[in-house]
A and B are shown apart, each in its own frame.
Chain A
Amino acid sequence: MKKWLAISMSTMLLGSALAGCSSGNEKTAGKETGGTKDEKVEVTLAGWGGNPTEQKLLQQTLDEFQKKYPNIKVKYEVISDQYMDVIKTRLVGGEGPDVFYLDAFEAPALMKTGALESLDQYVTDDFDINDFEKPLLDAFKGEDGKIYGFPKDYSTLALFYNKKMFQEAGVEVPKTWDELREVAKKLTKGTQVYGFGVAPELARLYYIAESKGGKVVTDNKASFADPKVVEALQPIVDMRVKDKSAAQPNEVGANWGGEMFGQGKAAMVIEGNWAIPFLKDTFPNLEYGTAEVPTIDGKKATMAYTVAYVMNKNSKKKEAAWKLLSFLTGKEGMKIWTSKGLALPTRKSVAAELGFDKDPLRAPIVAGASYATVWQNGTNLPIITNNFNNQFVSAFLGQRPLADALKEAQETANKEIEGNK
């Protein structure tokens, strides 16, 4: 008797469950065809995580978006390590997120593959495309002239200096690289404090490398062994090897320039906007100032780094994805995202409204935007950068002449580029 009861019970349960399923299916199907307003769509957004404050700001922006479009749910995924590897693999596997971050540096190669959705067709007058800083927007234009992403924020480089050390040494903030070199000598105290902390990588040295008229990349190939590039980079190496007034972060046990600067092991570093919140959180008592990057031969130069939101071409919810993308890069969303100054707005109207050009620490970074070189140059820049970084370090440590190191790096890079064709 009991057995029968159990069986009939379970049959009933199963039956009702099945019924529930089928009725559910019918409903959604009906909605899809009918296209009624309360259809709930889930859009995935992928990015690398930031610090907790950044995460909170992004969540705030997303909450605002979901309030405005209650039928779109945003699923935010954090890829904290090896971001590009994960994104590429997921795109290949057809499991890519609908909307994701893309660094300008990686953009040309990805745009060329056709894995991204071109966004021109979605843009309306309301979105006001001319409001973006042009060089930053151009970074996400493909070879075909179409736009594949809208920059969400950017930063340029500026000189960070330790006010206390400058006072003790009785020196002024350098305005030119020659001054910087002299000042660095005076600020150095053996191996305890270095005058200048250097990140020996192309991303941070590109504008210096091209300051004497040489080109790092020509026709999508490495050309940094050019004597003009070597001449431009030589002073950095000399500061480390001859003056002993410069060092890279790992020589003092730091992971990056901001940390080296915060620990008081470098009196000057050249970093971006990202260092300001870091220094505030980690080294709140540090007294420092920022200035525009010193000039080379009287010319101002710096780098600009930007990241865009792009859309996956294989996304099945393009309409909702565009709504999210246009909100995040639109005036409203960008204002929330950049309100704390963790990132700088790429829209002129938002920048004017938030007024970071009047913030004493951020003014030099904002000022750099007008003359900065965007960190991007063709599809092969990742290969070129990898080879440059690998060899430049040995020259920087004084193990071999700079010209030799760069020549070898250039040959290796070009061989690799040739092989990839």
Chain B
Amino acid sequence: MRKKAWREAGTGYFLLSPTLFVLLLFIIGPILFAIFLAFHKVQLLGTTTFEFVGFDNFKRIAGDLRAKIALWNTVKYVVIVVPCQTMLALVLAATLNAGLKGQTFFRIVYFLPTLTSSAVLTLIFMWMYNQNGLINHLLQAVGLPTYNWLGDPKVALNAIMVMNIWSTAPFFMVIYLAALQDIPDSLYEAAELDGANAIQKFWYVTVPYLRPVTSFVVIMGLIGTFQLFDQSYIFSAGSGGPNNSTLTVVLLIYQYAFKTLGTMGYAAALAFALAIIILIATLLQRKFSKEESLY
């Protein structure tokens, strides 16, 4: 009997082997190697050396001012962008599900930004934010003062936030739209019988029913925003400026890994730390949303 079980498992693993091989080679292998790198001082160029340094790379994070700025920028970005895009996505989805005329058309229009590559979007927004760009022209037309949106450290990150909320919300809107189709009409009818108005129906029926989906949207949003890289990279041409205002953790990892020589190990340590931060944030989110209590 046992032999048979082994044989069956063996066949199973044999059939799985191509997938397992790919997983090991491209996912698990690199993760293990990154952990290995995080504990070493690595010199890749010229003569390749790996020198074991224990927790030195992690200790260094604590004293690194730029790492602190990067983390602070990233956290600020997450805390503002995730709730905004989630709420916007929910409101958009609810509106476009209310049976308005031409709602299919609007669904397509709203979804368009998500289809555009983020690099292209960033470049378009940089033109709009430019001193001679669309936004300043509009401000001028209404008689308001213009502003140097890209050059001022105080607003540079906010400019990226606005862009990202605008482009990511529609993606989550589609997920909400799909979930909205699942809410039975009987619930709304019952609410109507109890005299609930449109807002009450939204708040007491739609929102609670969408909770698991919201949980998914928030987790995906958290992961996506913590990994902010391309937008701030293009905005600052890779430097994280002006005045470190668009420096994010992933951008810092990139700089240490590829810009400065011999800091690959420190970059790996930073990446490892970021993974842990994302893990904690996700766990916290799950705890607060009490998703399980629904089932």
Q: A251-B151, A253-B130, A415-B64 are in contact. Are A420 and B262 (CB under 8 A)?
A: yes
Contact of A128 with B by CB under 8 A: no
Query: A252 touching B131 by the CB < 8 A rule?
Result: yes
Query: A88 touching B261 by the CB < 8 A rule?
Result: yes
Query: A88 touching B262 by the CB < 8 A rule?
Result: no
Task: Kindly state the separation between the CA atoms of A176 and B293 in the bound complex, as whole angstroms.
Answer: 76
Query: B64 touching A389 by the CB < 8 A rule?
Result: no
Nearest-CB residue, chain B, relative to A109: B261
Interface residue stretch chosen among B76-84, B194-202, B237-245: B237-245
1/0 per residue, CB under 8 A from B, across A373-393: the answer is 000000000110010011101
Nearest-CB residue, chain A, relative to B262: A420
Q: Kindly list chain B residues whose C-beta atoms are within 8 Å of the C-beta of A91.
A: 45
Query: A92 touching B240 by the CB < 8 A rule?
Result: no
Q: How far apart are A199's CB and chain B's nearest CB, in angstroms? A: 12
Query: B45 touching A115 by the CB < 8 A rule?
Result: yes
Query: A113 touching B43 by the CB < 8 A rule?
Result: yes
Q: How far apart are B251's CB and chain A's nearest CB, in angstroms? A: 12
Task: Kindly state the separation between the CA atoms of A394 and B209 in the bound complex, as whole angstroms.
Answer: 48
Can you list 7 A-B contacts (CB < 8 A)?
Answer: A113-B43, A113-B261, A389-B241, A393-B151, A393-B242, A412-B65, A419-B63
Q: Kindly list chain A residues whose C-beta atoms are within 8 Å of the C-beta of B208.
A: none
Contact of A18 with B by CB under 8 A: no
Q: Kindly list chain A residues whose C-beta atoms are within 8 Å of the C-beta of B260.
A: 382-383, 416, 420
Query: B244 touching A390 by the CB < 8 A rule?
Result: yes
Contact of B44 with A by CB under 8 A: yes
1/0 per residue, CB under 8 A from B, across A138-151: the answer is 00000000000000
Task: Kindly state the separation between the CA atoms of A37 and B194 in the bound complex, as whole angstroms.
Answer: 97
Within B26-75, the residues touching A (CB, 8 Å) are: 43-48, 60, 63-66
Within B117-174, the residues touching A (CB, 8 Å) are: 130-133, 148, 150-154
Query: A390 touching B240 by the CB < 8 A rule?
Result: yes
Task: Kindly state the separation between the CA atoms of A397 and B263 in the bound complex, as whole angstroms.
Answer: 32
Q: Kindly list chain A residues whose C-beta atoms are within 8 Å of the C-beta of B261.
A: 88, 109-110, 113
Contacting residue for A416 out of B48, B64, B239, B244, CB 8 A: B64
Contacting residue for A394 out of B148, B153, B266, CB 8 A: B153
Among A248, A250, A386, A390, find the residue whose CB has the most chain B CB atoms closer than 10 A: A390
Nearest-CB residue, chain B, relative to A399: B153
Query: B241 touching A393 by the CB < 8 A rule?
Result: yes
Query: A250 touching B150 by the CB < 8 A rule?
Result: yes
Query: B148 touching A250 by the CB < 8 A rule?
Result: yes
Within B256-272, the residues touching A (CB, 8 Å) are: 258-263, 266
Task: Kindly state the separation between the CA atoms of A109 and B44 in the bound complex, as whole angstroms.
Answer: 13
Interface positions of B (Cβ within 8 A of A) = 43-48, 60, 63-66, 130-133, 148, 150-154, 238-244, 258-263, 266
Contact of A360 with B by CB under 8 A: no
Task: Kindly state the separation between the CA atoms of A92 and B238 in the bound complex, as whole angstroms.
Answer: 21
Q: A253-B130, A412-B66 are in contact. Are A390 and B45 (CB under 8 A)?
A: no
Query: A248 touching B151 by the CB < 8 A rule?
Result: yes
Query: A85 touching B258 by the CB < 8 A rule?
Result: yes
Task: Kindly state the separation between the CA atoms of A250 and B151 in the bound complex, as whole angstroms.
Answer: 6
Q: How far apart are B21's CB and chain A's nearest CB, in angstroms? A: 23
Q: How far apart are A260's CB and chain B's nearest CB, in angstroms? A: 10
Q: How far apart are A352's CB and chain B's nearest CB, in angstroms? A: 38
Task: Kindly state the separation between the CA atoms of A71 and B263 in the bound complex, as whole angstroms.
Answer: 42
What's the count of A-B pairs with C-beta under 8 Å?
85
Q: How far apart are A416's CB and chain B's nearest CB, in angstroms? A: 7
Task: Kindly state the separation between the CA atoms of A110 and B151 in the bound complex, as whole angstroms.
Answer: 32
Among B46, B154, B238, B241, find the residue whose CB has the most chain A CB atoms closer than 10 A: B46
Query: A110 touching B45 by the CB < 8 A rule?
Result: yes
Q: How far apart are A344's CB and chain B's nearest CB, in angstroms? A: 27
Contact of A282 with B by CB under 8 A: no
Contacting residue for B153 out of A88, A393, A420, CB 8 A: A393
Query: B242 touching A394 by the CB < 8 A rule?
Result: yes
Task: Kindly state the separation between the CA atoms of A370 and B153 in the bound complex, as whole angstroms.
Answer: 39
Per CB-CB distance, the 10 closest pairs between chain A and chain B, nearest first, are A113-B46, A253-B131, A114-B46, A253-B132, A394-B243, A113-B45, A92-B44, A115-B46, A393-B242, A250-B151
Contacting residue for B65 out of A84, A115, A397, A415, CB 8 A: A415
Query: B131 touching A251 by the CB < 8 A rule?
Result: yes
Q: Kindly list chain A residues whose C-beta atoms are within 8 Å of the C-beta of B44.
A: 92
1/0 per residue, CB under 8 A from B, across A92-109: the answer is 100000000000000001
Q: A110-B45, A113-B261, A391-B243 are in contact. Are A82 and B131 (CB under 8 A)?
A: no
Nearest-CB residue, chain B, relative to A96: B45
Nearest-CB residue, chain B, relative to A379: B261
Q: Kindly list chain A residues whose C-beta atoms are within 8 Å of the C-beta of B240.
A: 390
Contacting residue for B242 out of A110, A390, A416, CB 8 A: A390
Task: Kindly state the separation between the CA atoms of A406 and B130 in the bound complex, as whole angstroms.
Answer: 28
Q: A399-B153, A416-B66 are in contact. Are A382 and B132 (CB under 8 A)?
A: no
Task: Kindly state the separation between the CA atoms of A88 and B48 in the bound complex, as whole angstroms.
Answer: 13
Q: How far apart are B237's CB and chain A's nearest CB, in angstroms? A: 9
Contacting residue for B258 out of A88, A383, A391, CB 8 A: A88
Nearest-CB residue, chain B, relative to A394: B243
Task: Kindly state the separation between the CA atoms of A415 and B64 in the bound complex, as whole angstroms.
Answer: 7
Task: Kindly state the separation between the CA atoms of A391 and B263 in the bound complex, as whole angstroms.
Answer: 23
Q: Kindly list chain A residues whose C-beta atoms are within 8 Å of the C-beta of B258.
A: 85, 88-89
Q: Kindly list chain B residues whose C-beta atoms are within 8 Å of the C-beta of A114.
A: 46-47
Nearest-CB residue, chain B, relative to A395: B243
- Beyond contacts A88-B261, A253-B131, A399-B243: 5 other A-B pairs, Cβ-Cβ < 8 A, are A389-B239, A416-B64, A419-B60, A419-B266, A420-B260
Task: Kindly state the separation between the CA atoms of A397 and B153 in the bound complex, as whole angstroms.
Answer: 9
Query: A92 touching B263 by the CB < 8 A rule?
Result: no
Among A313, A389, A411, find the residue whose CB has the most chain B CB atoms closer than 10 A: A389
Task: Kindly state the separation between the CA atoms of A92 and B43 in the bound complex, as whole angstroms.
Answer: 10
Q: Kindly list chain B residues whose C-beta atoms are within 8 Å of the C-beta of A383.
A: 260
